[in-house]
Amino acid sequence: MRRTWLRTGFAALVAARILALPHNAEAATRGGKMVYARYADSLFLDPVLNDANTDIWVLTNLYDTLLAPTKDGLGVQPGLATKWESAADGKALTLTLRSGVKFADGSPLTADDVKWSLDRARDPKAGAWSSSLASIDQIDTAGDTVKLTLKHPDPTIIPALATFNAAIMPQKLFEAAPGVTPEDKAKAFAEKPVGSGPFILTAWQRGVSMTLRRNPYYWKPAEDGEALPYLDELEFQIIPDDATRLLKLKAGEIDGTEFVPYTRVKELQADPSLRMELWPSTRVTYLTMFAGTSYKDGKPNPMANVKVRQALNYAVNKDAVIGITTLGLGKPMRSFMSATTPLFVGQDLYKYDPAKARALLAEAGFANGFETSVLALSGNADEANNLAIVQQMWGQIGVKLRIDLVDNATRTARYRAEDFAMRTSLWTNDISDPSQITSYAAYYPNIHSLHSQWQDKRVDELFTASQQEIDAAARAAQYKEIQERYAAAAPVVFLYETPYPVAFRKNAHGFVQIPLGNNLFEGAFVEK
Amino acid sequence: MNRAVLIAARLLQIVPTFLAIGLVVFVLARLLPGDPVSAMLGDRATDEAVTRLHQQMGLDRPLWAQFLLFVGSVLHGDFGTSIALRVPVTAIIAERLPATLMLTALATLLAVGIAVPLAFVAATQAGRWPDYLIRAVFQVGLSSPIFYVGLLLLTVFAAGLRWFPVGGYGDGLAAHLYHLLLPALTLALSFSAVIMRNLRAAILEVLQAEFVDFARSKGLSRRVVLFRHVLRNALLSTVTLVGLQVGALLGGAVITESVFAVPGVGRLMVESIFARDYPVIQALTLVLAVIVSLAFLATDLVQMWLDPRVAR
C-alpha cells in the first residue's frame, strides 16, 4: 500500500509539472477577476446530499477533502491530510491532518470536524453517495490524527476520501445554520457554504451568476511559495445557449467557457484571441442494450443473444461516428471504462466488419435482420448525429432502428423500469477508481448491469473479490478479466471517449479540469 | 353593466379558472413519465435511494392526498419548496418573474410601436410600393424562427457592433432594460408582423365603411378622419389580438430567455419540467394563468375605452 502511494505520489508530481508547464514561462498575475460561463447553474451545494455534476464539478473550489485526486485522475495526493498509512491487514487507515488549516471564516479545522463530516457522509440514510464510505466501521480521533477502522479491507477507501462527498465541513457553523432538522440545516448551509477550499461563495443569484471570493485562509501555497488562489474573485455566469456563450467569449465579456460544441472547436482553435483546451476526461459515450430474454410486453428480445450484440458492434464504424459527431476529437472506446480510469485495460473493440456482422446475425437466426428502437434525448445534437450514422450502418445488415426522442426524465424512467430496447448513454467517473463504473455497468446486483439484465456470474464474483483486494497486482488482474469478459459479451454498443472542450481568452490561464470533471480554479489567473 | 361590475365579474371568473388549471396541471405533471426522484438521481439511482427519496418527498402518498395537501398549502399562500433547487417556490418565482414580465411588456410595446405606424402606412398606401415593401419585410420576420433571429441580432448588434451586451440581465432597472432590449426586439419582430397584417386589413375594411364616407363628406380633414375615426375603429380587433397574444408571447419567452441568458420564468418552467419539479410547475402555471387572465381583463378595459358599446 505504501509503495503504491509513493508511486502515485510520484506520478502526481510528474503530472503536475507537465500541466503546469505552459504557465511557468510567465509569472501568474495576482488579484483581479475571472468570469467563467457555465451551461447550467448548480442546484444544491452540499457535498453529501447533491446529485448533479453541476454541483460536484464546482464543489472542489469551496471544500477540501482529506486526499485529493491527482490532475491526471489516476491517483491521489495529499489534501487536508499530509500522510496516510494503511494497516498491514488493510482494516484500518490512519491519517495525519495538515496543521494550521482554517475554514474560510477563520475558524480552525479540527479532527472533530473530520469525524463529524465523514460520519455524516457515510450515513446510509443521507444522500446517494454514502456507499463509497460504507466500509468504515468507526472513526477515532487523537490530536491531529484520524483513524478509520474498516469492516473489511477496502482498496477503494483511499480514492473515496479524495471524492467530493468526503469533503470536510465545519461542524459548528453547520449546526448553527437556521432550521430544526439536519435536512433544513443542510439547505440553509448550502446557500452560504463555508469550507476550507480556495474560494468562498459570497453571492448567488440562481440561474444568473455565482460570485466566489478568494479564501484568505487557504492553506495551499503556489509554486512560488505565495498563497493561492491567484484570483480575488471568480464569477460563474449561467448561459444555457452554446452559441451565446461563445459569442460572449469572442466579445471578451467572459474569460472562459465550458462545453464548447465539437463543431465549433476548430473555429475557436483558429481564433488568435482565444485558446481551446481539451482536457482528458473519463467521459464515455455508448448505447446500452437491453439483454433480457424478453421485453416487458412479452416479445422475445433478439439482443438477449450475444451474437446479435456482437454483430451490432461489428456493424458500427466507430471512426466514422467519431469523425462526424466529434469532428475527430473523440477516440474509440477500448473498454467499458475510459482510458483515464485506473486499472483500465484496453483492446481494439469490434473493428468495423459488416460481413462478420451479417454472418453473426445469420448464426443467431436473424439473417434478414430485425427491427428495434432506441431512446434518445430530444434536442441533443450529438446523439442525433450518432444515431443517424448508426441507423444507416445497421440498415446495411438489415437491422432497422427506430429513434424515439424523449426527455431525460422519461428516458431514465423507462430505463429504471427496464422497459427499453436500447438507449443512448454517457458516463463520467466521480472517483479515481474503476469500482464505481464497474458496479453500475458490469456488476449485476447493483442495477442489473445498467438495467440491461445482462449478467455474468464470474464478473460478479471478480468484482466482489476486487472490492476487498488490497494486493494491487491481484486487483489489476481481476479488473483485466472483468474488462475482457465485458468486451466479449458486449452488453453495450461501444462508441467513443471524448475530452472536455473548454475555451479561454488568450490572457486567461491556469484553469484545470481533471478527468473526473472537477473544475479547479485555485491556479487560475487573468493577465492584465 | 357599468365598468366596476364588469371588472369585478371578470376577476371572479379567474377563481374557477384558477382551480381548474390547478387540477389540470397537477394531473398533467404526474402523467409525464418519470418523477422528480428519477430526474434528480438520474441513471445512477439504486432502488434504495429512490425509495428513500420518495418517502422524504411524500411522493409515496396517494395522489388525492398529495392534491389536497397542494390545494391546502396554496390556499395558505404556500407553494411549497422546489424539489430541484431546495428553496421556497414563492421566492424563486418572485426572483424570476420580473425579468419575464419586463421582457414581455417591452416586447409588446416594441411590437405595437413598430406595427401600428407601418400598418397605417401600408393600408393608406395599399397596392403601392411602400405597402409591398412593408409586407415583404414582415413576412420574413414572421417566418424566421425566434432562436435564429435572436442569434442574428446578438451576432450583429452585440458581438459585432458592440451596441448591446451579449445576453445577460445586468444589475439595476436601467441595466435590465438595456440587456432586455435585444431579446424584446427578437420577440417583437414576429409579434409585430402579426399585428401589422391584422391592423392593415382592419384599416382597409374600415376605410370602406359608410361612416368614413360620411365623415369625409361632412368636410372633416383626411387626417382627422384617419386618426379619429378609422384608426380608432380598426384598433379594436388589434387590441383583442394583442391581449390574446400575451400567452403566446410568454411561450416565446422560453426560447428567447435561453438564447439571451435572461433569468426569467420561461427558462425556469422548462428546467422544472425536465426536473419534474412538481411544486414549481404547479405554482408557475397558476401564476402565468393569472397573468394571462389579467391581460385579458386589461384588453377588455382598453376595448371599452375605444368602443363604449363593449361595456353596455
- The chain B residue lying nearest A46, using CA atoms, is B86
- The chain B residue lying nearest A186, using CA atoms, is B86
d(CA A400, CA A369): 8
Q: Which of A407, A429, A438 to mutate to test the interface with B (most CBs of B within 10 A)?
A: A407
For domain A281-499, give its CATH number from 3.10.105.10, 2.60.40.350, 3.30.365.10, 2.60.40.10.
Answer: 3.10.105.10
Indicate yes or no: CB of B95 within 8 angstroms of CB of A413.
no
Indicate yes or no: CB of A128 within 8 angstroms of CB of B43.
no
Give the residue among A168, A161, A220, A219 at the shortest CA–CA distance from A194: A168
Indicate yes or no: CB of B151 within 8 angstroms of CB of A243.
yes
Q: Is there a shared CATH topology between the A2-190+507-526 domain and the A281-499 domain?
A: no
- Report yes or no: B50 at the A interface, CB cutoff 8 Å: yes
* Residue of B40, B168, B261 lying closest to A51 (CB–CB): B40
Distance from CA of A352 to the nearest CA of B (A): 29
Pairing of strands A256-257, A233-238: unpaired
List, as one string, the DSSP characters of A325-360. Answer: HSTT--EE-SSSS-TTSTT----------HHHHHHH
CATH code for the structural domain at A2-190+507-526: 3.90.76.10
Contacts of A43 in chain B (CB under 8 A): 84-86
d(CA A230, CA A524): 6
| Bigger pLDDT: A484 vs B24 | A484
Name residues 218-237 of chain A within 8 A of B (Cβ): 237
Pairing of strands A500-505, A256-257: antiparallel
Indicate yes or no: CB of B42 within 8 angstroms of CB of A412.
yes
Q: Tell me the pLDDT band of B312, cut-offs 50, 70 and 90.
A: low
B52 torsion bin: left (phi>0), alpha (psi -120 to 50), beta (else): alpha
pLDDT in tens, B73-125: 888 888 888 988 888 999 999 999 999 999 999 999 999 999 999 998 898 88
For residue B42, pLDDT beyond 80: no
Indicate yes or no: CB of A406 within 8 angstroms of CB of B33.
yes
Query: What pLDDT is recorded for position A24?
Result: 45
Residue type at A431 in one-letter notation: I
C-alpha to C-alpha distances, B31 to A103, A408, A410, A500, B268, nearest whole angstrom: 46, 15, 11, 36, 20
pLDDT in tens, B218-251: 888 877 888 777 888 888 888 888 888 888 888 7
Give the residue among A48, A73, A94 at the shortest CA–CA distance from A193: A48
Cβ contact A84:A158 at 8 Å: yes
Query: What pLDDT is recorded for position A26?
Result: 59
Helix or strand (DSSP H, E) at A85: strand A81-86
Query: What pLDDT is recorded for position B138?
Result: 85
pLDDT tens per residue, chain A (528 residues)? 333 343 444 444 444 444 444 444 458 899 999 999 999 999 999 999 988 889 999 999 999 999 999 988 889 999 999 999 999 999 999 999 999 999 999 999 999 999 999 999 999 887 778 889 999 999 999 999 999 999 999 999 999 999 999 999 999 999 999 999 998 999 999 999 999 999 999 999 988 899 999 999 999 998 888 889 999 999 999 998 899 999 999 999 999 999 999 999 999 999 999 999 999 999 999 999 999 999 999 999 999 999 999 999 999 999 999 999 999 999 999 999 999 999 999 999 999 999 999 999 999 999 999 999 999 999 899 999 999 999 999 999 999 999 999 998 899 999 999 999 999 999 999 999 999 999 999 999 999 999 999 999 999 999 999 999 999 999 999 999 999 999 999 999 999 999 999 999 999 999 999 999 999 999 999 998
* Residue of A44, A238, A415 lying closest to B43 (CB–CB): A415
d(CA A288, CA A425): 6
| Bigger pLDDT: B57 vs B157 | B157
> Can you give the residue ranges of every domain in chain A?
2-190+507-526, 281-499
Torsion of CA A465, A471, A477, A478, to 10 degrees: 10
Query: What pLDDT is recorded for position B248?
Result: 81
d(CA A287, CA A305): 16
Query: What pLDDT is recorded for position A5?
Result: 40
Distance from CA of B5 to the nearest CA of A (A): 42
Q: Which of A48, A235, A244 to mutate to test the interface with B (most CBs of B within 10 A)?
A: A244
Name residues 152-191 of chain B within 8 A of A (Cβ): 154-155, 158-159, 162, 165-169
- Report yes or no: B92 at the A interface, CB cutoff 8 Å: yes
- Report yes or no: A408 at the B interface, CB cutoff 8 Å: yes
- Report yes or no: A380 at the B interface, CB cutoff 8 Å: no
- The chain A residue lying nearest B94, using CA atoms, is A206
Against a cut of 0.95, is the pTM above it? no
d(CA A85, CA A134): 19
E strand spans, A413-499: 422-427, 492-497
- Report yes or no: B94 at the A interface, CB cutoff 8 Å: no
Name residues 191-220 of chain B within 8 A of A (Cβ): none
d(CA A94, CA A107): 24
Query: What pLDDT is recorded for position B137?
Result: 87
